[in-house]
Amino acid sequence: MNKLLRGITVLGLTGAVLLCSCTTNLGPETLPSITTATETTIETEPTETEPTLPPEATEPSSVAVVTDSIVENEGTLSVSGTKIVNSEGEEVVLKGMSTFGIQNCEGFFTEEVVKTLAEDWGCDVLRIALTGDKDIEGYLKDPDKYFDMVCKICDLCIDQGIYVIVDWNVAYYENADETKEACVDFFTRLSAIYSDSPNLIYEVNNYPLFYEEPDEDSDEVPNEWEDLIKPFATDVINAVRENNPDCIVIVGVPNNGLDVNAVSESWLEFENIIYGCRVFSGSNKQEMRDNISLLLDEEACVFITEWSFCTEYLKGGIFRNESEKWSLFLEANGISWCSVGIGSDIDNDTNALLLNAENYTDAQKYGGHWPDGLLSDAGLYARELLLSEPSAQIDTETTEPADEETESTEDSYAEDGEDDDDEE
């Protein structure tokens, strides 16, 4: 049964009780003033002062609509051809949320927040993005701090009974050796602790490894997959498989998943490998869907580990029509996905930040069970996708933002876009 419909009745009853309770608790300042009448008294209309109520007092908080544990139901996952399968060999499609870089999410992922994402939003999986760039606050700057932070979130997901993807955001080619050493260290430690956990999925590189332009007197340009990503991933996977021989590992495809030819000409020689792509609905359209179809034709398993409904510059509004095309494509092909990103306080466009920073306090944010007023438009849409079947998502009246408006937005944001991408 549609997960969203299961929660409508509960939400309606909750809202009715809450609204009634608000009207019976008005303070004395809202009562009419009483004046003893005399011959000189001039009567005036009674005045009332409207109380200022925080958002959670004006609308119902979200409630659980999914109470089953997906890990308890599906068990240890593996890869069979283009599909993720459960312990019985049956197809599983994971749908969930991704964090921004956890250096910007410190303290956000409490027990109630993880419970909200799992039960109120219907998340099967939470993806944790850990920065592997030595120039940005993250594992290379403070390994113990960020290792402990990742472990705490993993433990919350395990207790809640959902899957958890731990992602290493790869840094740059000029730091490749240092980055790989730190990445191997991180995943070795993590896989040793969670070697027996069916919840963990390891994403060893989200961003492709960028490389410097060749010198003017040289025509040699590294092959991004063969020379950079594949050897990097191979060393990290070997380290993980020492502790967990059968775990699922996600490896990012070059150019956000567009360069599928490089991968198909030189596959990773491991079992239980998934190829990860990033999708921006406003920027990645039919060409990218066609490229993913090519990977599927080659019997590769694909996971959209970051799905934003806007452009690659995190601007331009929600491209709902294109997002619905993506939703139908992903569902038709049994492709799992995570919408990005939740948990960050960085000043950014609400197309990407799924909570509405202007309307919530820390207590509301960390307490979870967010009312609709505390969600951005993208947050509301992400929850809709998580709780709805694709057939319920088609809206023929919806139109895309105007092309000229989107182009001007992208141009104005291009300089800052690289920095924001680095922080995810």
Q: What is the pLDDT of residue 100?
A: 85
The lowest-confidence range among 70-79, 143-152, 335-344, 395-404 is 395-404
What average pLDDT does the structure give for the chain? 79
Average pLDDT over residues 218-228: 77
Q: What is the pLDDT of residue 148?
A: 97
- Give whichever of 97-101, 207-211, 260-264, 326-330 has the largest mean pLDDT: 326-330
% of the chain beyond a pLDDT of 70 = 71
CA gyration radius, the chain: 24
How confident is residue 134, by pLDDT bands cut at 50, 70 and 90? confident
- SS3 call for 33: coil
DSSP letter at 334 equals: T
Q: What is the pLDDT of residue 259?
A: 86
CA 103 vs CA 111, 128, 136: distances in Å: 19, 11, 9
Among candidate residues 143, 393, 175, the one with its CA nearest the CA of residue 281: 393
DSSP letter at 310 equals: S
Q: What is the pLDDT of residue 355?
A: 78
pLDDT of 418 higher than 70: no
How confident is residue 58, by pLDDT bands cut at 50, 70 and 90? low
Question: How many helices (DSSP H) and strands (DSSP E) are in the chain?
Answer: 13, 11
pLDDT of 241 higher than 90: yes
The span from the first CA to the last CA of the chain, in angstroms, equals: 34
pLDDT of 252 higher than 90: yes
Q: What is the pLDDT of residue 33?
A: 37
Q: What is the pLDDT of residue 360?
A: 73
Q: What is the pLDDT of residue 57?
A: 53
Residues 6+ apart with CB under 8 A from 289: 325, 326, 329
b/e string for 274-297 if b means 16 or more Cβ within 10 A?
bbbbbbbbbbbeeebeebbeebbe
Q: Which residue has the higher pLDDT, 75 or 342?
A: 75
How confident is residue 105, by pLDDT bands cut at 50, 70 and 90? confident
Q: What is the pLDDT of residue 328?
A: 95
Average pLDDT over residues 163-187: 87
Query: Tens of pLDDT along 189-209?
Result: 999 999 999 999 999 998 766
Q: What is the pLDDT of residue 30?
A: 32
pLDDT of 264 higher than 70: yes
- SS3 call for 220: coil
Query: Tens of pLDDT along 357-406?
Result: 666 778 888 899 999 888 888 899 999 999 987 554 444 334 444 443 44
Per the CB < 8 A criterion, the answer to whether 200 and 164 are in contact is yes
Find how far residue 353's CA is from the centre of its chain: 10
Find how far residue 87's CA is from the centre of its chain: 25
Residues 6+ apart with CB under 8 A from 423: 100, 101, 103, 104, 131, 136, 344, 346
Q: What is the pLDDT of residue 179?
A: 87
Q: What is the pLDDT of residue 55?
A: 55
Query: Tens of pLDDT along 123-133?
Result: 999 999 998 87
Average pLDDT over residues 256-265: 85
Query: Tens of pLDDT along 280-322?
Result: 999 999 999 999 999 999 999 999 999 999 888 777 788 999 9
**Dist CA 19 CA 15 (whole Å):** 6
Among candidate residues 322, 353, 339, the one with its CA nearest the CA of residue 420: 353
Q: What is the pLDDT of residue 147?
A: 97
Q: Which residue has the higher pLDDT, 106 or 304?
A: 304
Most distant CA pair in the chain, distance:
102
Average pLDDT over residues 166-170: 91
Average pLDDT over residues 173-181: 80
Q: What is the pLDDT of residue 246?
A: 96
Among candidate residues 112, 105, 249, the one with its CA nearest the CA of residue 187: 249
**Dist CA 92 CA 336 (whole Å):** 8
pLDDT of 51 higher than 60: no
